[in-house]
Amino acid sequence: MARLLRALWGLPFLEASPRASRCPLVGGGLGARAGHGDAGSVTKHEPSLTKSEWRKKLTPEQFHVTREKGTEPPFSGIYLNNKESGMYHCVCCDSPLFSSEKKYSSGTGWPSFSEAHGTAGSDESNTGILRRVDTSLGSVRTEVVCKHCEAHLGHVFPDGPGPTGQRFCINSVALKFKPGKH
């Protein structure tokens, strides 16, 4: 069954607890595939650059966060207190990810957004992000990556404002801001 699912979804098989498989906020369960935020997984793109090419293109901090799944220190990001209107793009591939209209101050130390750009209700298939199960710290979290180049952006948590109740906690160093109306 795991081989069939891996072939259908094009994602590596991840062991997850039964609780995580049922949770619609975690991108690894069947609920996520059925329209709760990870429908774009079947259209993911492979990274077009090698590790050494990414190192040349990005600063050391950008490389660490986006390619090695690092995290910038809290309250250190250049976009944490940015209040300009515009669009936040992926620092690696320039894909539009988050609109300033959905940015809010969560007090957590990282730029926070209530939804990804292109979201329609609970449908994220037209966004530039994917959700993935992250068990790296011994608990189940939902990682957010760029759909086009698979850059690690941050995580999403179910403690955000209404109506979505989501908090996309995104590293500033993974973003490039472009001013304008959005």
- pLDDT of amino acid 98: 98
Contact 179, 171 (CB under 8 A): no
Q: Is 128 helix (H, G, I), strand (E, B) or coil?
A: coil
Helix extents (H) in the chain: 2-9, 18-22, 30-33, 51-57, 60-68
Structure tokens at 30: 């069947």
CA 17 to each of CA 60, 64, 74, 133, 138: distance values in angstroms, whole numbers, following the listed order: 34, 28, 29, 11, 11
For residues 16-48, one letter each, b for 16 or more C-beta atoms within 10 angstroms of the residue's C-beta and e for the rest, the string is beeebeebbbbbbbebbbeebbbbbbeebeebe
Q: Give me the residues of the chain with pLDDT under 50, please.
A: 1-44, 182
Contact 26, 36 (CB under 8 A): no
- pLDDT of amino acid 46: 52
Contact 70, 153 (CB under 8 A): no
- pLDDT of amino acid 6: 39
Annotated active-site positions, please?
169
- pLDDT of amino acid 48: 79
- pLDDT of amino acid 162: 87
pTM: 0.75
